[in-house]
Amino acid sequence: MQFVKTGTDTAVQLVMMGAIYTALSIIWFIVYVFFINYLRVWLMSPKVQGMMDKATGLVLIGFGLKLAMEKQS
């Protein structure tokens, strides 16, 4: 079989595989939460907020110009 050795106690092997998968998932989610927290702090900084405001303003101006330049059908 793919995940267990044949001829041995498969239940122990499957429980071990489940425990390893669970441990790796918990470690991954802990790393993920710390990264998201760091990203949140960075995104909430005044410098980044100002850059996002300017980018949003440029996008809205671009949409307005596109709408103004469209031909009326």
Q: Which residue has the higher pLDDT, 34 or 1?
A: 34
Instruction: Give how many domains the chain has, as a whole number.
Output: 1
The answer to whether residue 53 sits within a structural domain is yes
Question: pLDDT of 18-73, one tens digit each?
Answer: 999 999 999 999 999 999 999 999 999 999 999 999 999 999 999 999 999 987 65
What per-residue confidence (pLDDT) applies to 73? 56
The answer to whether residue 5 sits within a structural domain is no
The answer to whether residue 55 sits within a structural domain is yes
Range of the domain at 48: 10-69
Angstrom distance (rounded) from CA 70 to CA 73? 9
The answer to whether residue 2 sits within a structural domain is no
Distance of CA 57 to the CA centre of its chain: 25
Angstrom distance (rounded) from CA 39 to CA 54? 20
The answer to whether residue 29 sits within a structural domain is yes
The answer to whether residue 56 sits within a structural domain is yes
With 0.95 as the threshold, say if the pTM is over it: no
What per-residue confidence (pLDDT) applies to 43? 94
What per-residue confidence (pLDDT) applies to 31? 97
